[in-house]
C-alpha cells in the first residue's frame, strides 16, 4: 500500500500483490459488480457507515486483478485534486496527474469514497467518463483523453445522514449501477466476526443479537445504528481479553450516542445479553 499525500492523506493506492482481502458476500453484489465491469458501467455503493462498502471494493479489485485508487472525498475535494495540477519543481513548472487521470490512463479502479461530499466541479468532471464517451477533459491542458478499456469508476454514498445531508442529483445517480449495502443476516454477520477476529462463535452470536436488538430500537432516533464495524471492534477487544460487557460498552454503545441516559439504558440492556 502506498500513500501519496496530495492533500491530508486522502488518496490511497492499493497494489495487487497483497493478501486477498476477506469479504463475505451479502447478496448478489459480486456478480453484479463483475457484469458491470464487463459492460464498463460505473458502480455506486450505497449504505450506512461500517457495512462493508470499502472492504467490498478492495476485494473486487483484488479478485479482478486491478489496481485500486481510493480518494476520500470531503467538502474541499475539487476537480483539480482529482485531475491534476501544475507544480513548481526547481526552476520548472511540471504537470502532475491527479488520481483520476492516473486511473483513466492506466486502467485502474478509481473509488470516490463519499462522493456526495465533494465539490460540484468533481461531479461535472466525471460526467463524460460515466457515459458512452468514457473520456476525461483536462481543461488546464486543453486535452481530452479516452479512458483505458479497464478503467472503472466506483463511488460510495451514504444516503442516511440526517445532518449535513447531501444528495446526489438524478443526472449523477443515473450514471451508475447501484447496490445497497446494509446489515447482513445474523448468521452471515456472526461469520464475519469470527473470520475477522477469531472470536468464539457463541460470543459472536451474542454480539449480533445485541446489534439487532439495538437496530430495532428506532425510537432512539440515532443518526446511524450499530454497524458491523462496531461489532468487529467489540469482538477484537473481547479477543484481546477485555471483559465482554466492558467491550460492548466502549465499542458498541458509547460510539453510538453522547446522550447519557440512552448510554446507560443501552448498557443495561446489553449486560443482559452477554
Ligand X SMILES: Nc1ncnc2c1ncn2[C@@H]1O[C@H](COP(=O)(O)OP(=O)(O)OP(=O)(O)O)[C@@H](O)[C@H]1O
Q: Is residue 229 a contact point for ligand X (CB under 6 A)?
A: yes
User: Considering only residues 228, 238, 256, 274, which one is a binding residue for ligand X as defined by CB under 6 A?
Assistant: 228
| Piece in contact with ligand X (CB under 6 A), picked from 45-53, 82-90, 117-125, 164-172 | 45-53
Residue 63 interacting with ligand X (CB under 6 A): no
Confirm or reject binding of residue 10 to ligand X (CB under 6 A).
no
Q: Which stretch binds ligand X (CB under 6 A): 5-13, 17-25, 128-136, 242-250?
A: 17-25
Tell me how far, at minimum, the Cβ of 93 lies from Mg ion, in Å: 36
> Is residue 62 involved in binding ligand X (CB under 6 A)?
no
CB nearer to Mg ion: pick between 54 and 79: 54
Question: Is residue 225 within the footprint of ligand X (CB under 6 A)?
Answer: no
Q: What is the footprint of Mg ion within residues 39-68 (CB under 5 A)?
A: 54
> Which residue number is nearest to ligand X in terms of Cβ?
52
Q: Taking CA 203 as the corner, what is the angle to CA 199 and CA 204, rounded to the nearest 5 degrees?
A: 70
The contact set with Mg ion (CB under 5 A) reads: 54
Binding site for ligand X (CB under 6 A): 22-24, 26, 49-55, 158, 181, 192, 196, 228-229, 232
Amino acid at each position: 500500500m502506498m500513500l501519496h499525500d496530495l492533500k491530508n492523506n486522502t488518496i490511497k493506492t492499493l497494489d495487487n500483490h497483497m493478501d486477498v482481502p476477506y469479504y463475505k458476500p451479502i447478496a448478489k453484489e459480486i456478480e453484479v459488480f463483475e457484469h458491470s465491469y464487463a459492460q464498463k458501467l460505473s458502480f455506486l455503493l450505497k449504505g450506512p457507515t461500517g457495512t462493508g462498502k470499502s472492504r467490498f471494493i478492495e476485494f473486487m479489485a483484488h479478485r479482478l486483478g486491478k489496481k485500486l485508487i481510493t480518494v476520500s472525498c470531503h467538502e474541499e475535494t475539487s476537480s483539480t485534486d482529482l485531475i491534476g495540477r501544475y507544480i513548481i519543481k526547481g526552476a520548472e513548472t511540471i504537470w502532475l496527474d491527479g488520481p483520476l487521470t492516473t486511473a483513466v490512463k492506466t486502467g485502474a479502479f478509481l473509488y470516490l469514497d463519499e462522493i456526495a461530499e465533494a465539490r460540484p466541479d468533481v461531479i461535472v468532471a466525471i460526467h463524460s467518463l460515466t457515459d458512452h464517451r468514457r473520456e476525461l477533459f483536462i481543461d488546464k491542458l486543453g486535452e481530452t483523453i479516452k479512458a483505458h478499456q479497464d478503467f472503472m469508476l466506483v463511488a460510495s454514498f451514504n444516503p442516511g445522514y440526517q445532518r449535513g445531508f447531501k444528495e446526489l442529483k438524478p443526472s449523477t445517480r443515473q450514471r451508475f449501477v447501484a447496490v445497497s449495502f446494509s446489515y447482513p443476516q445474523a448468521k452471515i454477520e456472526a461469520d464475519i466476526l469470527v473470520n475477522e477476529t477469531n472470536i468464539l462463535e457463541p460470543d459472536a452470536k451474542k454480539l449480533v443479537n445485541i446489534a439487532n436488538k439495538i437496530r430495532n430500537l428506532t425510537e432512539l432516533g440515532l443518526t446511524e445504528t450499530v454497524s458491523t464495524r462496531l461489532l468487529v471492534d467489540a469482538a477484537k477487544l473481547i479477543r484481546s481479553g477485555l471483559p465482554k460487557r466492558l467491550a460492548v460498552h466502549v465499542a458498541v454503545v458509547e460510539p453510538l450516542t453522547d446522550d447519557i441516559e440512552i448510554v446507560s439504558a443501552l448498557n443495561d440492556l446489553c449486560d443482559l445479553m452477554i
